[in-house]
Structure 1
Amino acid sequence: VNQAQRLQFIEGQLQEAKRYWRSAEDNRKIATRIQKEIDELKIERMKLQKKG
């Protein structure tokens, strides 16, 4: 394997790692948003339970 092929392989690995990183970042954002919605619903439920 010559150096050009090795560099091309490494570049491919870096691109794949970046894709996984972006996907993980998107998943974290989604999870954070869902957790916020859950927290808001819990607060709403507590308010309704106090009224009832």
Structure 2
Amino acid sequence: MNRRPILIIGDIHGYFTVLDAFIKRFEPQLVLQCGDFGIWPGRNVERLASGFKTE
């Protein structure tokens, strides 16, 4: 049976490259992000939006 981990992460303080590295390293089946991503209203919103791909 191929079991993939669940990644539970706290506030990443805007370090999306670190989050990306964890996802690539562990290839989790699910990511639970329990913080605010380091995004506040009016600041860095485009950084968050650019991290999501739409098809």
TM-score class normalised by the smaller sequence: under 0.3
Larger strand proportion of the pair: 2
Larger helix proportion of the pair: 1
- TM-score if structure 2 supplies the norm length? 0.24
Q: Which is higher, the Rg of structure 1 or of structure 2?
A: 1
- TM-score if structure 1 supplies the norm length? 0.26
